[in-house]
Amino acid sequence: MTGRQALWIAGRDLLHLFRERETWIWSFLMPPLFMFFIGSVARAPVRGPETVAVHAAPEAGYLADEMVRRLEGQGFRVVRTDAAGMVRYRRRLAVPAGFTEDVLAGRQAKIEFTRADGGLGADYDGVRLRRAVYGIAADLALLRLSGREPSPEALRELASAPRTITVEARPAAEPRRPPSGYQQSVPGMMVMFALVSMLTTGGVSLLEERRSGLLRRLAAAPLTRAEALAGKWGSRLALGWLQMAWAMAAGTLLFRIDWGNAVWVVSAVLAVYGALCSLLGMWLGNEGNSPGAVIGVGVIASNVLAALGGCWWPAEIMPMWAQKLSLALPTGWVMDALHRLVSFGGAPVEVMPHLAALGTLTLMCAWGLARRFRFQ
């Protein structure tokens, strides 16, 4: 095979693919749109101190102020309001009249905490509220044991005293937060739409060429089978690479994605993945009998692989069985490699197994397609 004829076929075929409206829509228009919509919806909320509205009756006493200070120490942003203004807040704490008097007299005192919704967040709020209450009770008991009269000044002095026992808690390793927002949607939609366009546009175009007799005429031309096959593959490979280069540029310019310090490794992963997608599209077009069947199989297969591979959502939030399954799929290999390099700042050596797996599968597909490719 000289290579020149294969390049000529690839160039002419690529121009033909660009004449199709579907190529521009699914390869260059839809990926940025989906990156924006999915990234905007799945963007992680900006975390700040949770607000709790506190209404203390005028006769609640100084322990109500101490409760506010303890809540702020638990990470709450406390807003003092009246009873009518409480309804505007999700978290509401009501301190009744006589609260301080009842506590100091040893009588049962009740404070009412309500939250507009439930779930784990409500449970965590309850834990922090109890810590504030138990802290006040413990300090009052300590003042009594030391023979001191409880007062605001005594509580402040006790709070500023050095603690004889402190507990320092920290994670054993740096936590890995699942990617969210554009950090997830940009690589995810790039990987998904590369597969969608190759399985549909790449597959249908090859099927139509065979049905129209174009491949049969190509087989009769003075070129080898390998040159014809390489030319057809080269056009689809070039389209896939151009599509992913455009997606990376859109991610950088429109969504401020930093592709990390190992851009060359990211490019290598995407280059091998593009080769695999183009071969899979040719496989589908080679085995298909109608454009509708090729499009149907291509759309379903690409969406299933995208969902299970972590293109729609981070694999880290999926059940453990789904995370293990994603690492058995090519989309999962690519997404895991991209997140390791881009989101978690991993070293290039971490994605060498991913490259090896993608390369092996690509070679297997190329070998099988070379044996089964038909011109009519």
Kindly report which listed range (139-143, 272-276, 298-302) carries the lowest average pLDDT score. 139-143
Is 171 a residue whose pLDDT tops 80? no
Which neighbouring-strand residues pair with 78?
A: 52
Query: Per this entry, what is the length of the chain?
Result: 376
Q: Which residue matches tokens 């004889």?
A: 164
Three-class secondary structure assignment of 218-263 = HHHCCCCHHHHHHHHHHHHHHHHHHHHHHHHHHHHHCCCCCCCCCH
CB count within 10 Å of CB 199 equals 27
List, for residues 40-93, the tens digit of each pLDDT value.
887 655 555 788 999 988 888 899 899 989 888 888 989 998 888 888 898 999
Q: How confident is the model at residue 239 (pLDDT cuts 50, 70, 90)?
A: very high
Query: Which band of pLDDT confidence, cut at 50, 70 and 90, is reported for residue 2?
Result: low
The two three-digit tokens of residue 124, written as one number: 């965590």
Q: Where residue 224 falls among pLDDT bands split at 50, 70, 90?
A: confident
pTM over 0.85? The answer is no
How confident is the prediction for the chain on average, in pLDDT?
89
Q: What is the pLDDT of residue 45?
A: 54
pLDDT confidence tier of residue 173, bands split at 50, 70 and 90:
low
CB pairs under 8 A, 24+ apart, for 180-184?
Answer: 180/42, 180/43, 180/44, 180/314, 181/39, 181/40, 181/42, 181/43, 181/44, 182/35, 182/39, 182/43, 182/251, 182/255, 182/256, 182/257, 183/257, 183/342, 183/343, 184/38, 184/39, 184/42, 184/313, 184/314
User: Is 251 in contact with 186 (CB distance < 8 Å)?
Assistant: yes
Tell me how far CA of residue 197 lies from CA of 33, 204, 330, in angstroms. Answer: 15, 10, 16
Q: Which helix (H) or strand (E) holds 340?
A: none
- Domains defined along the chain, listed by start: 4-43+181-372 (no CATH), 50-160 (3.40.1710.10)
SS3 of residue 43 by DSSP: coil
Residue 356's pLDDT is 97
Which residue's structure tokens are 């280059």?
271
Across the range 15-31, mean pLDDT stands at 92
Six-digit token pair at 187?
Answer: 């690589």
Q: Which amino acid is at 324?
A: K
Say what the pLDDT of residue 154 is: 84
